Amino acid sequence: MKPRFNVLSFMMLVALILSLTPAATAPTSVSAAQTCTDKAQFIADVTVPDGTRFEPGAPFTKDWRLRNVGTCTWTTSYSLVFDTGEKMGAVASSNFANNIAPGQIIDITINMTAPSAAGHYIGYWKFKNAQGALFGIGVNANKAWWVEINVVGTSTTNVAFDFIAKAGEATWSSGAGGLSFPGPNGDAKGFALKLDKPKFESGVELAKPGFLFVPQNITNGFIQGRFPPFRVESGDKFQTRVGCEFGATSCYTAYRLDYEVGNSIRTFWTFRERYEGLTYDANIDLSPLAGQEVRFILYVSAYGSPVGDRALWGNPVVVRKGSAPPPTATGTPPTSTPTQTPGPITPTVPPSACDRVQFIADVTVPDGSTFAPGATFTKTWRLKNVGSCTWTTSYQLAFFSGEQMSAPASATFPRDVAVGQTIDITVPMTAPAAAGSYRGYWMFKNASGALFGIGSQANKPWWVDIKVSGPTLTPSGPTKTPTPTATTGPTVTPQPGSVLDFATGACSATWTSGAGQLPCPGTDGDARGFALKLNSAKLENGSTDPRQTVLTFPQNVSSGYIQGSYPPFRVQAGDRFRSTIGCEYGSNLCYVAFRLDYQIGSDPVATFWGPFLERYEGQSFNVDIDLSPLAGKDVKFVLTALAVGPATGDRALWVGPHIYRATGGGGGSLPDLTINSLSISFPNESCFNPGETLGVRVRVTNSGQASAGSFAVQVGTAQQTVSGLAVGETKIVFFSGYTNPVSVVVDPGGAVAESNESNNSRNENLPVPTPPLPCLSPTPTSTSMSPSTPTLTATPDPLSGWNLFQNSKYKFGVKIPPDAAAGMSDNSGRADFPFAAGTNLREKYLAITVTEGLATCKYASGAATSSSNVTINSVQFLKEEGSEGAAGSFYDWLSYSTMQNNACINLAFVLKSVNPGNLPTPPPIFDKVAESVVFNQIINSFAITP
């Protein structure tokens, strides 16, 4: 979260420099004749939060809320004045309508129009007193506040497939069967409509048409449209804006882009959406489907209750690249994953009387921090009690809306917080399993259960905002870092894993600007633009990064640019472009756009990532971009820096720019022995035999790129030998007995050369489990106590305590563990099960479907690799197994199908995992055997119910 008072100090420095209008004269808080003080305090963006997207030329109204914290009354002789930046069609000044006494709050409203060209725009504003002196916010009352928007430009690509135009040719259906299009609004079976200007939950109307999807009005109901065949080409992208319809405050849905090839339907992209004032722009690379005839399926399902679910697809299209545009800094950067557009938080919380919070800082996890799917992290906010009530231990932190990220829904205060005191609130969280941008909103709850938060009325939440990387084939954006994170050695030493060093080979590139070809190294100060190779870089915050650096300075004209085109390089899957970017220390006027372009053969130069706009504000940014879409191609990479406006002072740094490859730059592929998990258990985890004792169970995985030979595993002083591990293979080693803390070392003798030697040992206290049931015979045994009094001793039910997961309409059920999250409707059900953390496994679930009137009763979502007929509890099943892969995800499934009274009942057990190589830090491969144990227990509990 970035409250205004956190970012004003560095953003206003640029505002004072960019003197674009007469209003930007030297600010003075008061005149010599004035004895009181003029000073404003920024409270909130009432409308148009920073980063809001608009179509070119779209009108909008901007409202700021400010407080008079000076000693002068602001009279009607005071005015709002444009200071610098982009005026966006607004008036240059506007007088106050009323007097505002010290301590009072005013909402300032001004009509604006988005510029006609695509780009990122900021306009800075101040007040002017009756004597004509400018004043604003900040310690010295001389800083401006601003409006910041993004204008969405006309696409440089061609629309190859328009879903709106093809809606009449699509086949529409829900769980209730076939549907017409457009459907009748309010149809309980579900319906879809075309909207000419869909209005999203952010309050913004899209100028282009879209779909409204309303799923069938049952728990977890769905609706889908299956579109005509379309041949995908490499580079095609699916683009749309998704979000709930404005006013649909209870909307909570799941979006899916499915595709059908032949008789197989798979999911390509998913996204979960809740009404929280945000919209998401999807830009999904379809290259994995290139060359195939595909039927795309737009699918929306209710996430639980369907009440109020009104889901929008804004202008859904498949676009195809055209020619590349010339260098320009006004384009809006394409997003690799769905991105957020903050909007007003719609759920209304009444103003608080005495409870009030002031946001101080994000202590950990600043906005935009990037995590791997499923990664755990700890979020800490620093907040201050600025109300009039003491926060006692009866107060709570409470989840409000958005994405909860597996955090607890509430947590009580650890201590009292008196008025004026500050508290750090820490919450453990887990990054969602799917790639994308996520934001969760939080508030406090007092002893009476009333919510309160920040803002002028203490009724606004604060938030955590993260990005989840991969599995994705598209590039990720930069993450902000206050200091460089690289810790390389001397500059002559190649960076670990580097296979192409752009700084070392800076002069192997051909450098050009609008003035033509440039020499390398260039001459500092050359107005044509220049590139210099530096042995180290001094960053904006004054620190020195020891890595070799390319300093680029665009041609010294308005919107000038410079480009360096490097020799061809063959890209491999998993290669990543990495660099730290920012302005050089002391370049106060620097305002540039960074871009990574590329060229294949004689094709036009195209943009792979960016432009990323960077001002001189004391920050640097780490860029880590997946180059996998270019795998197998000989690519000329182009480093491009562009001036945003005048080029004066634009000294742009590419620090340590290189292409990283996990196998390194010459050592060849290596294995990586990793301790996957440690636990204390009996030799058989599910039961024990008389005389057995607890011991240590070690799971070792080879998560590297080559097979490993024999090695030892050591627990304490005891050792066992493992006779090698294939890539991705996991083996379990059990040691009888244990002593906490348990100390484990893999390959203590160093017999295996590895790519990572730092993950071979663990020392930790392990929990001691409750003893499982004895390993007894599964059938009752009769023991004769006397000829006339036999007794029957039965084995205890191993599923005792499990819950019945039942379909009441078709009268069948299975037992599932008590920690499963489950829901059942007439025709479908799903139960999600816990699984071992820290591996590439992302979902583990049972999906149940019931379909009447099928000619063949079998699993419908995949092609089986094996099948057989089995009988379970006197019920005949078709048992099938298979494995599917799509978009970096893998589905290992086990299916059981049976026909009962014209209804095909299918139970599909699914393990969804991701390709570890698609993640920045590849996790270990999950243990399929161990994770599948519960599936066998569940299916053997299947029963027809009364």
812 or 826, higher pLDDT: 812
Decide yes or no: CATH 2.60.40.10 for domain 357-468. Answer: yes
pLDDT of 297 reads 95
Q: What is the dihedral of CA 333, 199, 367, 647, to 10 degrees?
A: 30
Judge contact between 261 and 322, C-beta under 8 A: no
Better-scored residue on pLDDT, 13 or 941: 941
More confident residue, 794 or 569: 569
Domain spans of the chain, in order of start? 4-151, 157-341, 357-468, 479-660, 673-764, 803-944
Identity of residue 499: V
pLDDT given at position 552: 96
pLDDT at residue 12 above 50?
no
Question: 641 pLDDT band (50/70/90 cuts)?
Answer: very high
Contact between residue 223 and residue 183 where contact means Cβ atoms under 8 Å apart: no
- When pLDDT is averaged across residues 872-892 and rounded to a whole number, the result is 78
Q: Per the CATH hierarchy, to which homologous superfamily does domain 157-341 belong?
A: Galactose-binding domain-like (2.60.120.260)
DSSP code of residue 10: H
CATH topology of domain 673-764: Immunoglobulin-like (2.60.40)
Q: Which tokens belong to 187?
A: 């149809």
Which two three-digit tokens encode residue 926?
A: 């999950």
DSSP three-state, residue 875: strand
Mean pLDDT over the full length of the chain: 79
User: With 50 as the cut, is the pLDDT of residue 21 above it?
Assistant: no
CA-nearest of 610, 58, 536 to 331 is: 610
| 3-state secondary structure labels for all residues of 595-644 | EEEEEECCCCCEEEEEEEEEECCCCEEEEEEECHHHCCCEEEEEEEEEEC
Q: Residue 844 has what pLDDT?
A: 92
In the predicted model, is pLDDT for residue 134 greater than 50?
yes
Residue % of the chain over a pLDDT of 70: 83
Q: Residue 749: which pLDDT band, with cuts at 50, 70 and 90?
A: confident
Q: Are 838 and 699 in contact (CB under 8 A)?
A: no
Specify whether the CB–CB gap between 595 and 533 falls below 8 A.
Answer: no
Answer yes or no: are the C-beta atoms of 598 and 606 closer than 8 Å: yes
Choice between 595 and 277, residue whose per-residue pLDDT is larger? 595
CATH architecture of 479-660: Sandwich (2.60)
User: What pLDDT score was predicted for residue 454?
Assistant: 86
Q: Where are the alpha helices (DSSP H) in 221-321?
A: none
pLDDT, position 668: 52
Work out the pLDDT band at 494, boundaries 50, 70, 90.
low
Closest of 359, 349, 338 to residue 435, by C-alpha = 338
Q: What DSSP designation does 372 have?
A: -
Q: Report residue 42's pLDDT band, with 50, 70 and 90 as the boundaries.
A: confident
Give the pLDDT of residue 707.
Answer: 79
> Are 357-468 and 803-944 in the same CATH fold?
no
Q: Tokens standing for 658?
A: 């290189």
Structure tokens at 76: 């009607």
pLDDT given for residue 643 in this prediction: 85
In this model, does residue 788 exceed pLDDT 60? Answer: no
More confident residue, 4 or 663: 663
Taking alpha carbons only, the member of 198, 146, 153, 192 closest to residue 170 is: 192
State the burial class of residue 39 (Cβ atoms within 10 Å of its Cβ: 0-12, 13-18, 19+): buried
Residue 456's pLDDT is what?
A: 66
The angle formed by the CA atoms of residues 317, 213 and 406, to the nearest 5 degrees, is 95
What's the pLDDT at 143?
84
Q: Residue 107 and residue 65: Cα distance in Å, rounded?
A: 4
**What's the pLDDT band for 141 if we cut at 50, 70, 90?**
confident
CA distance 343 to 46: 10
Among 86-100, 245-259, 423-437, 665-679, the minimum mean pLDDT is found in 665-679
> In the predicted model, is pLDDT for residue 699 greater than 50?
yes
User: Does residue 472 surpass a pLDDT of 70?
Assistant: no
- Among candidates 57, 125, 51, which has minimal Cα distance to 93? 125
Model pLDDT, residue 340: 32
Question: What average pLDDT score do residues 246-260 get?
Answer: 88
Q: What is the pLDDT of residues 397-420, one digit of tens each?
A: 888 766 788 888 778 787 889 988
**CB of 33 closer than 8 Å to CB of 131:** yes
pLDDT for the residue numbered 669: 64
Among 102-111, 367-376, 557-566, 750-759, the minimum mean pLDDT is found in 750-759
Lowest mean pLDDT: which of 206-210, 677-681, 705-709?
A: 705-709
**pTM to 2 decimal places:** 0.32
Which phi and psi (to 5°) does residue 25 adopt? -80, 170
3-state SS, 417-450, equals ECCCCEEEEEEEEECCCCCEEEEEEEEEECCCCC
pLDDT tens digit sequence for 143-159: 888 888 888 765 445 88
Residues 6+ away with beta carbon under 8 Å from 448: none
What is the spatial distance between Cα 710 and Cα 557, in angstroms, rounded to a whole number?
64
Q: Is 489 a residue whose pLDDT tops 60?
A: no
**Per-residue pLDDT for 100 more than 60?**
yes
Distance CA 248, CA 275 (A): 7
| Residue 488 banded pLDDT, cuts 50, 70, 90 | very low
Share of the chain above pLDDT 90, in %: 23
Cα R_g (the chain), whole angstroms: 31
Check residues 625 and 227 and name the one with the higher pLDDT: 227
Residue 395 has pLDDT above 50, yes or no: yes
CB 76 within 8 Å of CB 87: no
Statement: 803-944 belongs to CATH 3.40.1000.10: yes
Which residue has better confidence, 468 or 302? 302
Residue 336, Cβ density class (10 Å: 0-12 exposed, 13-18 middle, ≥19 buried): buried
Q: CA-CA distances (angstroms) from residue 371 to 136, 367, 433, 438, 655?
A: 38, 12, 10, 11, 22
**What was the pLDDT predicted at 945?**
80
How many other CB atoms sit within 10 Å of the CB of residue 212?
20
Check: CB of residue 616 under 8 Å from CB of residue 541: no
119-133, 191-205, 241-255, 464-478: which has the minimum mean pLDDT? 464-478
Alpha helices for 49-207 (secondary structure H): none
Instruction: Give the pLDDT band (50/70/90) at residue 920.
Output: low
Confirm if 618 and 566 have CB atoms less than 8 A apart: no
pLDDT band (50, 70, 90) for residue 751:
confident
Alpha carbon separation from 266 to 167, 258, 261 (Å, rounded):
21, 6, 8
Give the Cα separation of 580 and 548 in Å (integer): 11
Query: How many other C-beta atoms lie within 10 A of the C-beta of residue 40?
Result: 24
Q: Is the pLDDT of residue 778 over 50?
A: no
Give whole-number Cα distances, 87 to 46, 151, 182, 928, in Å.
Answer: 19, 14, 42, 60
Q: What is the mean pLDDT of residues 880-899?
A: 80
| Superfamily in which the 4-151 domain is placed by CATH | Immunoglobulins (2.60.40.10)
Q: What whole-number distance in Å separates Cα of residue 362 and Cα of residue 340?
A: 19
pLDDT digits (tens, 9 = 90+) for 272-309: 787 877 777 788 888 888 899 999 999 998 877 788 89
